């Protein structure tokens, strides 16, 4: 009898715990961050970043494993998604998916460490630009941070040569000149590279700004005059076209020879008067409508405009 009572008490306590867990799950779920979780495609180099984000956002939350597994599967794509394909979403399968399928395959410390060292050794530059140098330094920093978080010694001398050789010859020469015997550690090399690249980027930006600022006032005025003159020609051309259409509407017997495309602006030398290097309205020999009417000249495909 006593054993039966104790069994009932144990079952009741388990029921209370489960009830509290369900209530906590509802409360926590309502407080979960409204942000898109980081996707993982199966790239070993991105596993640590993915796992750190998922760990803090989902794994340590007081929710049921079945819900954690649902979140986990929603984050997986590509090779990582294939690794857990066919696994049913249950409480027990969360640990199976996480430990046996994902961590052993993509998150093993030895696999991740080897992948980041390989990335450092085989990193290649697309070109020698300052922008590319900045990208390389960022990639080196990312790999070093992951290795350090996994307990690797990234301050040793063996990485100095690897890091320096990733940059262009001019940066390497300046780096050697700045370094001394006492500051040849990886941290010092990283600090000098940051300073050199920032200085070169700032110099490049200033050079571009100075080139724009060096334009003389006469050059600016000439450009402005040219643009205003072209704008004036466009207005004048539009006015002439309207006048021509007005004459046609009035039923005038005078026929005007115009190009097929009446909407095309007179921008090119196709409308130069008598093939001379000026527009017809700039012609000094035939400077009025009467003289141009009298001449009525057409040469090839060039027409007398008035």
pTM over 0.85: no
Q: What is the pLDDT of residues 268-298, one digit of tens each?
A: 443 444 444 455 566 667 667 666 666 554 4
- Quote the CA–CA distance of 53 and 74 in Å, as a whole number: 14
Would you state the pLDDT for residue 42? 93
Q: So what's the pLDDT on residue 37?
A: 87
CA dihedral 221, 226, 231, 237 (to 10 degrees): 150
pLDDT band at 250 (very low <50, low <70, confident <90, very high): low
Domain ranges of the chain: 2-109, 112-207, 217-239+254-295
pLDDT at 9 over 90: no
- For residue 153, pLDDT over 70 is answered with yes
- pLDDT tens sequence across 187-222: 888 888 999 999 888 887 776 666 655 655 555 555
In angstroms, how far apart are the furthest CA atoms of the chain? 132
* Better-predicted residue by pLDDT, 255 or 78: 78
- Average the pLDDT over each of 83-87, 134-138, 206-210 and give the range with the smallest value: 206-210
Token pair, residue 185, equals 């550690």
């Amino acid at each position: 009898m006593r054993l039966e009572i104790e069994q009932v008490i144990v079952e009741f306590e388990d029921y209370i715990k489960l009830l509290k867990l369900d209530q906590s799950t509802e409360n926590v779920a309502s407080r979960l961050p409204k942000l898109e979780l980081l996707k993982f495609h199966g790239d070993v180099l991105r596993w640590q970043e993915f796992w750190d984000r998922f760990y803090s956002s989902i794994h340590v939350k007081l929710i049921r494993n079945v819900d954690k597994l649902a979140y986990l599967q929603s984050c997986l794509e590509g090779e990582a998604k294939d690794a857990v394909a066919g696994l049913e979403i249950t409480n027990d399968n969360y640990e199976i998916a996480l430990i046996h399928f994902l961590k052993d395959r993509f998150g093993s410390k030895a696999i991740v460490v080897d992948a980041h060292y390989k990335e450092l050794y085989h990193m290649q530059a697309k070109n020698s630009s300052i922008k590319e140098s900045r990208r390389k330094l960022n990639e080196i920093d990312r790999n070093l941070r992951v290795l350090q978080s996994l307990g690797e010694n990234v301050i040793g001398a063996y990485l100095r040569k690897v890091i320096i050789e990733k940059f262009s010859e001019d940066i390497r020469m300046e780096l050697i000149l700045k370094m001394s015997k006492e500051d040849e550690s990886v941290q010092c090399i990283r600090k000098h590279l940051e300073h050199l690249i920032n200085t070169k980027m700032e110099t490049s930006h200033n050079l571009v700004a100075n080139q724009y600022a060096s334009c003389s006032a006469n050059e600016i005025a000439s450009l402005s005059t040219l643009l205003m003159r072209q704008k004036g020609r466009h207005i004048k051309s539009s006015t002439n076209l309207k006048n021509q259409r007005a004459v046609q509407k009035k039923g005038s017997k005078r026929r005007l020879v115009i190009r097929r495309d009446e909407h095309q602006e007179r921008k090119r030398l196709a409308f130069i008067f008598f093939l001379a290097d000026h527009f017809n309205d700039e012609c000094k020999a035939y400077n009025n409508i009467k003289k141009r009417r009298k001449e009525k000249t057409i040469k090839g495909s060039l027409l007398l405009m008035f």
